[in-house]
Amino acid sequence: MVILTTTLIMVMISSTVFLLTTLMSKKNKMSREKNSPFECGFSPMSSPRKPFSIQFFLMATIFLIFDIEISIMLPMAITKMSNMQEWILSTSMTTIILMMGLINEWKNGMLEWTK
């Protein structure tokens, strides 16, 4: 019963705060001119939507994967897992799986910046 009461009170407080902020917020009428980009008082010279390079996205994704794996493996060594052999096995298996994925991407030509 206590959990139900606490949950109900929390929902009521959240709803009240949400309603108050929406009522007190400044209402702006949006128009086409207000939504258009502003460059020193002039209309933009080029399109604000430039095409995105998929090669850059792939390189950034690979970098993030390896960066996150390193940031996961290093603290495990510092905190001294229960068994050092267990840590070596888990990090080597993770590294082998990542290297197999990298070699696969390399062979399929996904790492080529220009084609």
Beta-ladder partners of 42: 39
Residue 96 included in any domain: yes
Angle in degrees, CA 1, 8, 22, rounded to 5:
175
Residue 71 included in any domain: no
Residue 28 included in any domain: no
What pTM does this model have? 0.45
Residue 88 included in any domain: yes
Q: What is the pLDDT of residues 87-114, one digit of tens each?
A: 788 888 888 988 888 888 888 877 777 6
Residue 94 included in any domain: yes
pLDDT surpasses 90 at 12: yes
Task: Give the range of the structural domain holding residue 92, as residue numbers without chain letter.
Answer: 81-106
Number of domains in the chain: 1
Residue 60 included in any domain: no
Residue 18 included in any domain: no
Q: What is the pLDDT of residues 13-25, one digit of tens each?
A: 999 999 998 888 7
Mean of per-residue pLDDT scores for the chain: 79
